[in-house]
Amino acid sequence: MSLQEPQKIWFSFLSPPLTDNDQHFFDKNELAWVRLLEANWEQIKTEVGNYLLENKEIKPYFNPNLTANSTQWKSFAFVVWGWKKRINIKKCPNTYKLLQQVEGLVSASISILEPETRILPHVGDTNAIYRCHLGLVIPQGLPVCGIEVGGVQRSWEEGKILVFDDAQRHRAWNDSKETRVVMIIDVMRQAYAHRKYSVCATILSKLSMQGMLNRFPFLKKLPKRTVLNNVLKFMAWMINPILRLRGA
């Protein structure tokens, strides 16, 4: 399906759930930078592979509730909603040089799914982005390894990019005996490119608040739609200019 723009920005933590639609997977060829990454995927795979060999203690994905075993889904990021992870960037400089040429990029990370691991159905943070997966190490195709968005299933392929709507309910699985590795890239939808900083600041604020709630559970008793949302908006207001200064 060709790239389509939603009429209104939606945030999973501020708005009611989205209704399912037919915008599940999109035509990657409408994104100009796709050819660049696909042409250089082996270079990315080699650099990421070397990083993984040197860093055995990759952290589990921040949300432990999405897998039966929270240590089986791991990730490390280069950019998180505009916030650069400079330590990781230094370890994979050639990969980051390629990512700098991706128009509208707001996030980029490596996702590692261990053998016989399933990611439970969930939705992303916003519909303001296209989520893209670049296959780096794909043990098998469907039905053993794959991703499902809105009931539509696709296989990853090494060196190929999948583009989908992260705001729709989706899940992923690796039922093979080997590890699956993909690069995850989030790019702003063109209609919302001018709101890049405000979108990133809002989601970074949400992630920070989520960390506080996990650390201090009593905060969860506060009224979600009043106090917590006002705190979130204030945090976003504070983070927005910092992102601009950092050149996100």
Q: pLDDT by residue for the chain (248 residues), tens digit each? A: 566 666 689 888 777 877 767 689 999 999 999 999 999 999 999 999 999 999 877 888 877 777 877 778 999 999 999 989 999 999 999 999 999 999 999 999 999 999 999 999 999 999 999 999 999 999 999 999 999 999 999 999 999 999 999 999 999 999 999 999 999 999 999 999 999 988 988 888 877 766 656 666 665 666 655 555 566 666 665 666 666 666 55
Q: Where does the chain hold its CATH 2.60.120.330 domain(s)? A: 25-192
pTM: predicted TM-score of the whole model, two decimal places: 0.85
Q: d(Cα 29, Cα 97) in Å, to the nearest integer? A: 21
pLDDT at position 229 is 59
Q: How many CA atoms lie within 13 A of 60 on its CB side?
A: 14
- DSSP-based three-state secondary structure for 14: coil
* Residues near 25 by beta carbon (within 8 Å), at least 6 away in sequence: 1, 149, 152, 154, 162, 163, 164, 165
pLDDT of residue 185: 99
CATH superfamily entry for domain 25-192? B-lactam Antibiotic, Isopenicillin N Synthase; Chain (2.60.120.330)
- At 227 the pLDDT is 53
CB 187 within 8 A of CB 104: yes
Q: What is the DSSP letter of 16?
A: P
pLDDT at residue 79 in the model: 96
- pLDDT reported for residue 113: 96
